Homo-oligomer: A and B are copies of this chain.
């Protein structure tokens, strides 16, 4: 029984993983981890996730440079959700070029883009 066995992976082998900025306390991202992603996150000190859309393991920032250095790894009371407290490299967590992914705010029955794009996504991914 290792610490990895304590995690209650869902039927598809995943758990949700929240990343929170250590400096600003902002909730940056919600991504998914399988066992290998969590193992590599802890082994390397940098956030790794499982991409459900691409069907592969990825290191956050491997293309963008916007890596997440992990300061604290937390597990919730039911053992089925992870919280990472991270140093967000480049200050941008979202692939849209915003500081974080949770930029859509519900206002009077509509989702409003409440936070600015701070870096051109084309520049982030080198496709410009």
Contacts and interface: CB of A to CB of B under 8 A. Distances in A.
Given A73-B106, A74-B102, A105-B73, A27 B16 contact: no
A75 B105 CA distance: 7
Contacts of A77: 94-96, 98, 101, 103-104
Nearest to A20: B27
A3 B106 contact: yes
A2 to B, nearest CB: 7
Interface in A36-95: 42, 72-79, 81, 83, 94-95
A2 B42 CA distance: 41
Interface string A24-39: 0111011000000000
A18 interface: yes
Interface of A: 2-3, 6, 16, 18, 20, 25-27, 29-30, 42, 72-79, 81, 83, 94-96, 98, 101-106, 109-111, 114
30 contacts: A3-B106, A3-B109, A3-B111, A6-B111, A16-B16, A18-B18, A18-B27, A25-B25, A25-B26, A27-B27, A29-B76, A30-B76, A30-B81, A72-B105, A73-B105, A74-B102, A74-B106, A75-B104, A75-B106, A76-B101, A76-B102, A77-B94, A77-B95, A77-B96, A77-B98, A77-B104, A78-B101, A79-B104, A81-B101, A81-B102
